[in-house]
Amino acid sequence: MSESDRVAEFTAFRQRLNERILGEDNQVIRRFFALDTQTYRAGVLDVKTKEMLGLVASLVLRCDDCISYHVAECYKAGVARDAFFEVFSVGLVVGGSIVIPHLRRAVDFLDTLESAAADEAPPCADHVAD
Amino acid sequence: MSESDRVAEFTAFRQRLNERILGEDNQVIRRFFALDTQTYRAGVLDVKTKEMLGLVASLVLRCDDCISYHVAECYKAGVARDAFFEVFSVGLVVGGSIVIPHLRRAVDFLDTLESAAADEAPPCADHVAD
Amino acid sequence: MSESDRVAEFTAFRQRLNERILGEDNQVIRRFFALDTQTYRAGVLDVKTKEMLGLVASLVLRCDDCISYHVAECYKAGVARDAFFEVFSVGLVVGGSIVIPHLRRAVDFLDTLESAAADEAPPCADHVAD
Amino acid sequence: MSESDRVAEFTAFRQRLNERILGEDNQVIRRFFALDTQTYRAGVLDVKTKEMLGLVASLVLRCDDCISYHVAECYKAGVARDAFFEVFSVGLVVGGSIVIPHLRRAVDFLDTLESAAADEAPPCADHVAD
Amino acid sequence: MSESDRVAEFTAFRQRLNERILGEDNQVIRRFFALDTQTYRAGVLDVKTKEMLGLVASLVLRCDDCISYHVAECYKAGVARDAFFEVFSVGLVVGGSIVIPHLRRAVDFLDTLESAAADEAPPCADHVAD
Amino acid sequence: MSESDRVAEFTAFRQRLNERILGEDNQVIRRFFALDTQTYRAGVLDVKTKEMLGLVASLVLRCDDCISYHVAECYKAGVARDAFFEVFSVGLVVGGSIVIPHLRRAVDFLDTLESAAADEAPPCADHVAD
């Protein structure tokens, strides 16, 4: 299975199960999901900073799905590759070598996002200022 | 691979490795396995309550195999779907959003158990009191 | 400092800081605190069961303040001493020997609660049905 | 013991033991300490952002000493009270209610830092631009 | 996919991503990787002991990739099967039943290493003292 | 309170509560305590190695009481100061900077043990081979 197929499959699973969970009549869980979304909205801190906070927290707690999610959100919010590696460095030093396998998968996922973006970019994209 | 094939494969792996482990001449590990089994036997608390305790502990420690195991045991002990979601809600609030990916897989596994039970039920099953 | 003074001091600290936190204009945190309270309300599962779930989750995550809190709530909800030890046994086996220091403090706190209750009981308390 | 005495005592302990550790002929540990310091230096991300990353990581891993350290560093780097609470909210939602006792101590420590700053400020401090 | 294919695929992934990570201009991460390697070099303690320490630490922190890595390194350093099980027993008792799924995979990986070694051994290998 | 008073108080607490726990009619907990003791007995690995394994596991799981216990047992089993620091270095690199506060307290406790031993030694102790 290709990497992009794997991502597509995970995204479909994630969406289907979120619907199953939110379709259940359990108010605590529904409210938790709503709160989770609210947490990363812009406040005094902007979305970019909040998503980096979510990423480093996921990294030290070593949850691959959470890491992928926040890598994608950080990427959308404009976090640059070298900034990603600084976030990773904090997670690595705080969390220790036990974080390394998750760091590898995070970098692999970031590479996939960047490749996909490069493929989608128009021929002259490299002429455009970021 | 279908979900039921995946479950069958995991069950076979689990059984084969348990045999490898218990076949080894290490008394501490053997006793630990025996103790683990003893823990969930009915005492002052019934099996159902103990399995729910095992489930919420597995959920906040975020171990998918342990979660699946206790979901199956809770299901056998008669925990209903809405009670499952209340156990999940405690695990989610205590353990935080980092628990969500494990919650998704727990719900998916519960759905699989319920589907399998529905398939096995006789045509008039819906007439039978639970 | 006596044990009861220590408990009183902690309770005062807890209340003062909760007020500081809820007095802050941060809706996510306020909602989380409300959700935390809602989680343990009676639903399909009764308060006693939910508090035992909260206790075992706190035990395996090894948070002394959370453990004390849920020991007190379980005690209020009528969990008996032998039932407490069965909850402890699940937490110990799932979480391992690393849980033992927290188990000691949990038992010490439970002893304190029971002593305080014995001191407050009228002479004929043992004639009264529970 | 007053709160400021407690902080002074901890700071003295921390410094004395760091010296004991770095005085030992163990290159791995010395290099780790050097790396830890280097991690929070300004890079693509500024010190303020890196310290907030360190704070949220410490919060979800529930280490009081680490939390106090990063609260102090964030405070020095100019993180405002409402920004602190947004960092706390991410830590709370990601890490769950198990984080709450650490959040209380973090807020108490932040209050201490702010009180100390207020005491030291000259009478006309409120006229001075930040 | 066979077990040996799975190991080969993981090893290739691990190497490719390590190169991606070390190819990035982030000195903290590079230094951390160098320090990680240095940690397990012979010192007062020999490589065998240090690798067993790395293995038990990985086991209680429940990181499968780290466990596989240290199982392989211990195996290379000459840790015998019964010694492996004593390391596992410490990890199991300290870390609790939550470690069991990781223990299964560790034993499966050890079996794979031993089978591969048996396949590679010359016909008269069973006559040779270890 | 002096450091030695603190150690004496903790030891008394530990003993009193262990008796309370083992005095309770809960077979799972009693067996777990017996198993915990059995785990560190000499087997293929000697007591010294097993205690170092217990120490590094306690360090990465960040349990101060467990760390103190295993530091004391390692010390009794003859682990030298530089070997202690190599165990600490593995725990620090695997577990990350979050381990540092626990490392400080471990070193402080080791210093206390060494000072007590120095006080008890006869005047000519430095002439005696270890």
**What number of residues does chain C have?**
130
- What is the spatial distance between Cα F34 and Cα F50, in angstroms, rounded to a whole number? 16
Residue position matching structure tokens 């990773």: A88
**B72-76: average pLDDT:** 97
Q: Do F38 and B28 touch (CB under 8 A)?
A: yes
Mean pLDDT over all residues of chain D? 92
Domain annotation covers residue A39? yes
Whether the pLDDT of residue B105 is over 80: the answer is yes
pLDDT at res. A19:
98
- What is the spatial distance between Cα E127 and Cα E125, in angstroms, rounded to a whole number? 5
Q: Do A88 and E25 touch (CB under 8 A)?
A: no
Domain annotation covers residue F14? yes
Q: Are A87 and D53 in contact (CB under 8 A)?
A: yes
pLDDT at res. D130:
39
Q: Are B18 and B7 in contact (CB under 8 A)?
A: no
pLDDT band at C125 (very low <50, low <70, confident <90, very high): very low
Q: Are F68 and B58 in contact (CB under 8 A)?
A: no
**D26-54: average pLDDT:** 98
* Residue span of the structural domain in which E18 resides: 3-116
Look at B5-9, B50-54, B65-69, D50-54 and tell me which has the smallest mean pLDDT: B5-9
pLDDT band at F129 (very low <50, low <70, confident <90, very high): very low
Look at A32-41, C16-25, D109-118, E95-104 and tell me which has the smallest mean pLDDT: D109-118
pLDDT at res. D124:
47
DSSP code per residue over F75-128: HHTT--HHHHHHHHHHHHHHH-GGGHHHHHHHHHHHHHHHHHHHHHS-TTGGGS
Name every residue whose Cβ is closer than 8 Å to that of residue F84 and which is 6 or more positions away in sequence: F71, F74, F110
pLDDT at res. A33:
98
Both tokens assigned to C83? 């039932």
**C28-48: average pLDDT:** 98
Maximum distance among all alpha carbons in chain B?
A: 52
Counting one residue from chain B and one from chain E, the pairs whose CB atoms sit within 8 A come to 51
DSSP code per residue over C72-124: HHHHHTT--HHHHHHHHHHHHHHH-GGGHHHHHHHHHHHHHHHHHHHHHS-TT
**D81-104: average pLDDT:** 98
**B12-37: average pLDDT:** 98
pLDDT band at E7 (very low <50, low <70, confident <90, very high): confident
Which residue from B116, B21, B9, B105 is spatially nearest to B63, judged by alpha carbons? B105
Cα dihedral C49, C52, C53, C55, rounded to 10, equals: 160
Identify residues of E whose CB sits under 8 angstroms from chain D CBs.
27-28, 31-32, 35, 38-39
pLDDT at res. F124:
47
Domain annotation covers residue B129? no
Which residue from B70, A15, A109 is spatially nearest to E98, judged by alpha carbons? B70
Q: What pLDDT, in 10s, does the model give residues F3-52?
A: 778 888 889 999 999 999 999 999 999 999 999 999 999 999 999 999 99
Q: What is the ipTM of this complex?
A: 0.91
Q: Do B58 and E98 touch (CB under 8 A)?
A: yes
Which residue from F34, E114, E101, E82 is spatially nearest to B25, judged by alpha carbons? E82
Domain annotation covers residue A126? no
Both tokens assigned to E14? 């691990």
Q: How many CB atoms lie within 10 A of CB B21?
A: 22
Mean pLDDT over all residues of chain E? 92
Both tokens assigned to C120? 């407050």
**D96-109: average pLDDT:** 98
Nearest-Cα residue of chain F relative to residue D57: F98
Query: Alpha-carbon torsion B2, B3, B5, B10, what sign?
Result: positive
Whether the pLDDT of residue E26 is over 80: the answer is yes
Q: Are D76 and D65 in contact (CB under 8 A)?
A: no
Q: How much of chain B, in percent, has pLDDT values that exceed 90?
A: 81
- How far off is chain D from A68, nearest CA to CA, in Å? 15
**A98-127: average pLDDT:** 84
- What is the spatial distance between Cα E59 and Cα F56, in angstroms, rounded to a whole number? 11
Domain annotation covers residue C42? yes
**A27-45: average pLDDT:** 98
**C92-96: average pLDDT:** 98
Q: What pLDDT, in 10s, does the model give residues E27-80?
A: 999 999 999 999 999 999 999 999 999 999 999 999 999 999 999 999 999 999
pLDDT band at D128 (very low <50, low <70, confident <90, very high): very low
Number of domains within chain C: 1
Nearest-Cα residue of chain F relative to residue E36: F93
Name every residue whose Cβ is closer than 8 Å to that of residue E19 and which is 6 or more positions away in sequence: none
pLDDT at res. A122:
62
Domain containing residue E52: CATH number: 1.20.1290.10
pLDDT at res. C122:
61
Q: Do A35 and C38 touch (CB under 8 A)?
A: no
Domain annotation covers residue B47? yes
Name every residue whose Cβ is closer than 8 Å to that of residue C3 and which is 6 or more positions away in sequence: C108, C112
Q: Do E111 and B20 touch (CB under 8 A)?
A: yes
Domain annotation covers residue A130? no
pLDDT band at F112 (very low <50, low <70, confident <90, very high): very high
> Which subunits count as partners of chain F given 3+ CB pairs below 8 Å?
A, B, C, D, E
- How far off is chain B from F64, nearest CA to CA, in Å? 20
**A70-82: average pLDDT:** 98
Give 3-state DSSP helix, strand, coil % of chain D, rounded to 5: 80, 0, 20
**E11-38: average pLDDT:** 97
Q: Are E104 and E59 in contact (CB under 8 A)?
A: no
pLDDT at res. A1:
66
Residue position matching structure tokens 């002893």: C111
Domain annotation covers residue B130? no
Which residue from A23, A37, F38, D91 is spatially nearest to B81, judged by alpha carbons? A23
pLDDT band at D1 (very low <50, low <70, confident <90, very high): low
Helix (H) or strand (E) holding C71: helix C64-76
- What is the spatial distance between Cα C103 and Cα F66, in angstroms, rounded to a whole number? 13
Whether the pLDDT of residue B5 is over 90: the answer is no
Q: How much of chain A, in percent, has pLDDT values that exceed 70?
A: 92
**B57-79: average pLDDT:** 97
Cα dihedral E83, E85, E91, E94, rounded to 10, equals: -100
Cα dihedral F80, E51, F106, E34, rounded to 10, equals: 110
Mean pLDDT over all residues of chain C? 92
Exposure class string for E54-64: b at 16+ Cβ within 10 A, else e: bbbbbbbbbbe
- What is the spatial distance between Cα E69 and Cα E7, in angstroms, rounded to a whole number? 11
- How far off is chain B from A32, nearest CA to CA, in Å? 8
Whether the pLDDT of residue C30 is over 50: the answer is yes
DSSP code per residue over B61-110: HT-HHHHHHHHHHHHHTT--HHHHHHHHHHHHHHH-GGGHHHHHHHHHHH
Which among D18, D20, D29 has CB closest to F111?
Answer: D20
pLDDT at res. D12:
95
Q: Do A32 and B62 touch (CB under 8 A)?
A: no
- What is the spatial distance between Cα F48 and Cα F39, in angstroms, rounded to a whole number? 12
Whether the pLDDT of residue E122 is over 80: the answer is no
Whether the pLDDT of residue E107 is over 90: the answer is yes
Q: How many CB atoms lie within 10 A of CB B38?
A: 14
Which among D40, D56, D61 has CB closest to A53?
Answer: D56
